[in-house]
Structure 1
Amino acid sequence: MPAPERIPPRGLTATELLLKGELTVRGRVGGASNAVLYCSVAYEGEEAACVYKPVAGERPLWDFPDGNLAQREVAAYEVSEATGWGLVPPTVLRDGPYGEGMCQLWIEAAPEAALLALLDAEEPGEGWKAVGFAEVGEGGTALLVHADDPRLRRLAVLDAVINNGDRKGGHLLPAGDGALYAIDHGVTFNTDDKLRTLLWGWAGEPLTEEALAALERLTSQLAEGAPLAARLAELITAAELGAVRERVAALRTSGRHPEPSGEWPSIPWPPV
């Protein structure tokens, strides 16, 4: 689908455009279990492409009985912004052609940027981190690896904080300007340990100083009465907000990337 022009630098922020603009549905994004609509959003002469996921098009999930997936997408954006890393595209909750839903700025991924690979090898090699061996058909296996990339490492920390239950390769969008964005955060913030991801390459390794500083910022912003805490309280349950605080505290105490618990499949299926 051809994307409308990106937002001109005329003072209107992306979130303001997403909230105030008129949504026009241009098509449907295939391959998703829930309704994902490709739209344009226009306001006062400015226009951008976006994704609109109406709550009415969500498939109920047995393990996410509280709230809706759209609110969790917005909550993931709010936490990403609080870290200072900007890993989630601007995302808002708003009314649209099919009722309330999540609206997120469309990101065009750079096709040449390689973040994942399957190797016919026992070790990942320089610049890569091993995830594990994967079946590749007819009884064969290959080593699944991801890039040893600081942007992915930040995302691994964010996923641990929001308890992302579905970090697949197709959710990674490296942009042409060098930024990395991540999408599809509907199955997050559960009170139970649901972390499933392709980014296990740093499991058990010490967190970077940058990550520890971001976790410290989150601690203060998640305090009772702080703006982030107040915003999350509008989007997820009180128990889920408490679990976010506990995960941040646990990461700061351990000082290490989490490891698979063994009580839940650690890698999503399909992985891409």
Structure 2
Amino acid sequence: MPAPERLPAPGVNTAGEQEELLAKGELTVVGRISGASNAVLLCTVAYGGVSADCVYKPVKGERPLWDFPDGNLARREVAAYLVSEATGWGLVPTTVLRDGPYGEGMVQQWIEAGHADDADDADADGAGESGGADGSSGSSGASGSDGLLALVEGGEAGEGWKPVAFADIGEGRTALLVHADDPRLRRLAVLDAVINNGDRKGGHLLAAPGGRLYGIDHGVTFHVEDKLRTLLWGWAGEPLTDEAREVLTGLERQLAAGAPLATRLAELITPAELAAVRARVHRLRRTGVHPEPSGQWPAIPWPPV
């Protein structure tokens, strides 16, 4: 029997085909990804002569959180994927909820990380543009997430960068944490505001070959209270782009009662959380600006990377 064909790079297969592979394929655990607070398993999935690597997070491996009900982080990851797909931006890898070797869990397409500057196939509207942490920006050389984040000594972000906050780097020294003034990151900042992401760390950004940017780890999302914690505050208080306003208008329609997206989300989050999503989208459209830290919740996740 011939070996299954490997899944082509992201963007070659449709999301529907990837969903079918992840939802119906046979999962085989390869190993555990260390360093995560919850159980994260690297697997292969095979179906219809095609196989691919994927991530499987069983509900049984979720660590209880005081502010989120037990056993539902996997569902929130799927809900984040559905909202991302509804925006048309494709910022979250294909994600499904299914049974696996250790029970129900989230299964997500594996993304082979590239580099933020690898944008040969990026779209023409600048989705592949990104800054580099070079000497011209005053970077200390301490960068993260493949050139999307950096620590800058001197207090100035520099051209192509957005300031976030000052950080203690030891020995009585501070540095300015910055992120690239990158349209892909800006889209992700809008998505995070919609889903109320409480944990947008640098390590949750994946720059894939071809210029695509993905966000991962969306278990602590959709809370009814303002929980937005992110490293992407660089646009706080600035007007939303025309593209973002158009996307939010479409998303508001898709979240209306009875619409397919609203129906699917109702199976994954509570009625109050679904109402909160609608309210956040409406507020973003009404204000027309990126949100600012509320002051009622830590604005930066810890650890930030």
Shorter-normalised TM-score: what interval? over 0.9
Q: Secondary structure at the match of 1:13?
A: helix
Aligned to 2:51: 47
CA distance in 2 between counterparts of 1:129 and 1:99 reads: 42
Structure 1 distance, partners of 2:201, 2:82, is 21
4+ long deviations beyond 6 Å: none
Q: CA deviation at 1:10?
A: 7.6
- Structure 2 unaligned runs (5+)? 117-145
Deviations 1:79-129 (A, max 9, x none): 000000000000000000000000000001114641000011211000000
Please tell me whether the aligned partners of residues 207 and 214 of structure 2 are also in contact (alpha carbons under 8 angstroms).
Answer: yes
Q: CA deviation at 1:171?
A: 0.3
1:75/1:235 contact within 8 Å kept:
yes
Letter in 2 for 1:117: A
Give the alignment of 1:64-75 within 5 angstroms: 64-65=68-69, 68-75=72-79
**Length-normalised TM-score, structure 1:** 0.96
Percent identical pairs in the alignment equals 74
1:67 Cα offset (Å) = 5.7
- The alignment status of 1:239 with 2:239, answered yes or no, reads no
Q: How does 1:75-94 map to 2 (within 5 A)?
A: 75-94=79-98
Equivalence for 1:30: 34
Q: Which residue of 1 aligns with 2:106?
A: 102
Q: 2:173 & 2:215 partners in 1: Cα distance? A: 30
The residue aligned with 1:19 is 23
* Equivalence for 1:258: 291
Q: Distance in 2 between matches of 1:30 and 1:65?
A: 24
Q: 2:236 & 2:115 partners in 1: Cα distance?
A: 27
Give the distance between the partners of 2:237 and 2:190, measured in 1 at CA. 12
**Aligned position for 1:125:** 158
Is 1:157 equivalent to 2:190 in the alignment? yes
2:218 counterpart of 1:214: no
Paired residues of 1:7 and 1:14 also in contact (CA < 8 A): no
State the shift of 1:65 in Å.
Answer: 1.9
CA RMSD of aligned residues (A): 1.5
- 8 Å contact 1:66–1:237 — kept in the other structure? no
TM-score (norm 2): 0.86
Distance 1:66 1:25 in 2: 24
* Secondary structure of residue in 2 paired with 1:190: coil
Q: 1:44 to 1:160 in 2, by over 3 A?
A: same
Asked if 1:116 is matched to 2:149, the reply is yes
Are the equivalent residues in 1 in contact too, given 2:62–2:71 (CA < 8 A)? no
> Is contact 1:67–1:236 with CA below 8 Å preserved after alignment?
no
* Structure 1 residues 141 and 188, CA gap change in structure 2 (3 angstroms): same
| Contact 2:64/2:70 (8 A) holds in 1 | no
Q: Is the 8 A contact 1:93 1:102 kept in 2?
A: yes
The higher relative CO (CA closer than 8 Å, separation ≥ 6) is in 1
How many correspondences in the alignment?
A: 269
